[in-house]
Amino acid sequence: MKLHGTMEIKDGQLEIGHIAVKQLAKQFGTPLYIFDEAEFINQSQKFLNSFDSDKFETKVYYAGKTFSNLYIFGLVQKLGLSLDVVSEGELYTALRAGVDTNNIILHGNNKLKRELEMTLDYKIGRIVIDHPVEYHLLSKMCSERQQKTKVLLRINPGIVADTHKYIKTSTEDSKFGMNSADPSTYKLLQEIAKDPYIDLVGVHCHIGSQVLNKKFFFEEAEAMLQFLYNLKKDYNINLTELNLGGGFGVYYTSEDHPFDLEEFLQDYIKVIENKITEYDLQVEKVSIEPGRALINDSGSLLYQIGAVKYPYQGNPYIFVDGGMTDNIRPALYQAKYEACLPEKMNNETAASFKVAGKCCESGDILIEKVDLPMPERDDLLLIPASGAYTFSMSSNYNRLPKPAVVFVNERQAKLAVKREDYADLIRNDLKYKEEDN
Ligand SMILES: Cc1ncc(COP(=O)(O)O)c(C=O)c1O
């Protein structure tokens, strides 16, 4: 298993942030989301320092959907990252965490009227319009409120990045954005550009997630700058902002070979600068929205093993005390992970195992095949590189309380989200009363 961030092995024990994982299990219980704060800070600084230009302003938005709570949004604000949100819940969390409203951008293919209202009430920095109906609704709201707002239009440039079909977002039939080849896209842009209450500042795109071949990002930037040039040349619309989304692939298992981030970001900036000069564009701000590339490496999921079971055929199962409730990704899109036994780091590999959760679903398999030392009941099992789209996609299926989230850094462990208890599970339930029926 690859060691990520501050992970170290001392006397056969795995440590994160210089704390033995065994100690974290004792203090906070399992299942447990563990975040390596130093690793998150390190990744953030890589993005902020390498995605930088003296020709235009740059912004790095943390994609809030990957992992959202007050603690991480507060850290995002402190580090100088901006924040991309997709719902009123994420926006509410951002506001309560004290994120500067100017640094927030709102996405979504079906924003609710009350989400747009909240965005206008708090004068959120940017709204990314997805389609004409949404534009007309926002335009009406802004004119009624006599309030101007800055928007970008989401464009689908037709770059189909090589990734899982559930995380491809730029196919011709994509549910996101307006296609760059579609004449109605230009019609809409002309309409928005004339709107007195909508300040059309730029365009946005996101070609998909877990993209491991950097050529797609270069193609994306070139296609979007060509699009801005066409707008200028054919429609006299001069936009000043370009948001190129996220999607930068990460290491989950040895099958993934992510590109060197710093080298890529510096080359990316050069390509963008050169195209802006070539097309004589007035672009003043270029943004990106990394999600998993910022947070995934720093997060791990820690479980306790309940049993090793030998089925009639196939690899033995390791049963853990959580499952698809705290990480739906393997069941949702066959995501793969590595694992280790944090108290047996120096033990020899014994066999290949299947790691299964405790939910009543045959599909509740966290890892199809992983080589591990011999586990026993009560041993710990850790799944590294699982910070993104795990806690944020968690559920209470089978009425399992959601695990706690803890941040570790320099021998200190800080609780960021409390473990749910049984009372949390029935908090919104109303009792059946015979007299009402
Ligand atoms: C608009 C937008 N920006 C950023 C992201 C972050 O993607 P990733 O986590 O792959 O970087 C997504 C993911 O779906 C997205 O839809």
pLDDT tens-digit profile of 252-268?
Answer: 999 999 999 999 999 99
The mean pLDDT of 2-18, rounded to a whole number, is 98
Could you list the residue range(s) of the whole structural domain that residue 256 is in?
107-290
The pLDDT-based confidence of 164 (bands split at 50, 70, 90) is low
Using the predicted structure, report yes or no on whether residue 172 has a pLDDT greater than 80. Answer: no
pLDDT digits (tens, 9 = 90+) for 384-404: 999 999 999 999 999 999 999
199 & 230 share domain: yes
Name the residue at shortest CA distance from atom 5 of ligand 1: 246
Which of 369, 372, 337, 381 lies closest to 351, judged by CA?
372
Residue 373 tokens read as: 């030392």
The pLDDT-based confidence of 160 (bands split at 50, 70, 90) is confident
Name the residue at shortest CA distance from atom 12 of ligand 1: 246
The pLDDT-based confidence of 158 (bands split at 50, 70, 90) is confident
Site to substitute for ligand 1 among 206, 224, 292, 329, most atoms within 8 A of C-beta: 206
Q: Residue 114 sits in a domain of what CATH number? A: 3.20.20.10
Nearest-atom index, ligand 1, CA of 107: 1
pLDDT digits (tens, 9 = 90+) for 98-116: 999 999 999 999 999 999 9
Site to substitute for ligand 1 among 289, 296, 297, 392, most atoms within 8 A of C-beta: 289
Q: What is the mean pLDDT of the chain?
A: 96
pTM score, two decimals?
Answer: 0.96
- Domain final position from 251, 270, 290: 290
The pLDDT-based confidence of 42 (bands split at 50, 70, 90) is very high
283 & 231 share domain: yes
The mean pLDDT of 72-88, rounded to a whole number, is 98
Look at residue 332 in the predicted model and tell me its pLDDT. Answer: 95
The tokens 């590294």 sit on which residue?
384
> Is residue 54 in some structural domain?
no
CA of 115 from ligand 1 middle (Å) equals: 19
- Asked if 61 and 100 count as a contact pair (C-beta separation under 8 A), the reply is no
253 & 122 share domain: yes
130 & 265 share domain: yes
The mean pLDDT of 160-171, rounded to a whole number, is 64
Measuring CA to CA, how many Å separate 349 from each of 1, 41, 76, 371, 375?
11, 33, 39, 6, 10
- Domain final position from 248, 269, 290: 290
CA of 319 from ligand 1 middle (Å) equals: 32
Alpha-helical (H) ranges within 280-307 are: 292-295
**Nearest-angstrom CA–CA distance, 309 and 311:** 6
Nearest-atom index, ligand 1, CA of 292: 9
Q: Residue 342 sits in a domain of what CATH number? A: 2.40.37.10
Tell which wins on pLDDT, 134 or 175. 134
Nearest-atom index, ligand 1, CA of 210: 10
Beta pairing, strands 285-288 & 57-63: parallel
Look at residue 175 in the predicted model and tell me its pLDDT. Answer: 84
> Is residue 329 in some structural domain?
yes
* Percentage with pLDDT > 70 across the chain: 98
The tokens 């990480």 sit on which residue?
327
CA of 207 from ligand 1 middle (Å) equals: 9
CA of 92 from ligand 1 middle (Å) equals: 19
Site to substitute for ligand 1 among 209, 210, 252, 297, most atoms within 8 A of C-beta: 209
Look at residue 165 in the predicted model and tell me its pLDDT. Answer: 60
Using the predicted structure, report yes or no on whether residue 168 has a pLDDT greater than 60. Answer: no
Nearest-atom index, ligand 1, CA of 296: 9
286 & 302 share domain: no
- Domain final position from 269, 290, 311: 290
pLDDT digits (tens, 9 = 90+) for 285-344: 999 999 999 999 999 999 999 999 999 999 999 999 999 999 999 999 999 999 999 999
> Ligand 1 — pocket residues by CB below 6 A?
63, 66, 84, 107, 169, 206, 209-210, 245-248, 289-293, 388
> Is residue 90 in some structural domain?
no
Residue 353 tokens read as: 């195992």
pLDDT digits (tens, 9 = 90+) for 192-219: 999 999 999 999 999 999 999 999 999 9
The pLDDT-based confidence of 163 (bands split at 50, 70, 90) is low
b/e code 181-199 from CB counts within 10 Å (16+ = b): eeeebbebbeebbebebbe
Residue 333 tokens read as: 């899109």
114 & 255 share domain: yes
CA of 51 from ligand 1 middle (Å) equals: 17
CA of 340 from ligand 1 middle (Å) equals: 28
For residue 190, give the amino acid letter. Q
The tokens 């009363």 sit on which residue?
433
CA of 205 from ligand 1 middle (Å) equals: 10
CA of 86 from ligand 1 middle (Å) equals: 10
> What's the total number of domains in the chain?
2
29 & 114 share domain: no
Look at residue 434 in the predicted model and tell me its pLDDT. Answer: 86
The pLDDT-based confidence of 437 (bands split at 50, 70, 90) is confident
283 & 308 share domain: no
194 & 237 share domain: yes
Look at residue 429 in the predicted model and tell me its pLDDT. Answer: 98
> Is residue 314 in some structural domain?
yes
The mean pLDDT of 123-146, rounded to a whole number, is 98
Which residues touch 293 (CB under 8 Å, ≥6 apart)?
Answer: 43, 47, 246, 248, 249, 250, 258, 261
363 & 239 share domain: no
Using the predicted structure, report yes or no on whether residue 167 has a pLDDT greater than 90. Answer: no
Which of 147, 152, 109 lies closest to 127, judged by CA?
152
> Is residue 17 in some structural domain?
yes
> Is residue 91 in some structural domain?
no
- CA–CA–CA angle 423, 428, 434 (5° rounding): 100
205 is catalytic: no
Nearest-atom index, ligand 1, CA of 289: 4
> Is residue 82 in some structural domain?
no
314 & 401 share domain: yes
Site to substitute for ligand 1 among 65, 203, 216, 392, most atoms within 8 A of C-beta: 65
Annotated active-site residue in 142, 205, 340, 360: 360
**Nearest-angstrom CA–CA distance, 422 and 370:** 33
The pLDDT-based confidence of 76 (bands split at 50, 70, 90) is very high
Using the predicted structure, report yes or no on whether residue 435 has a pLDDT greater than 90. Answer: no
> Is residue 68 in some structural domain?
no
Nearest-atom index, ligand 1, CA of 293: 11
Name the residue at shortest CA distance from atom 9 of ligand 1: 291
**Nearest-angstrom CA–CA distance, 375 and 305:** 8
Burial of 135 (0-12, 13-18, 19+ CB in 10 A): buried
285 & 389 share domain: no
Which residues touch 255 (CB under 8 Å, ≥6 apart)?
Answer: 336
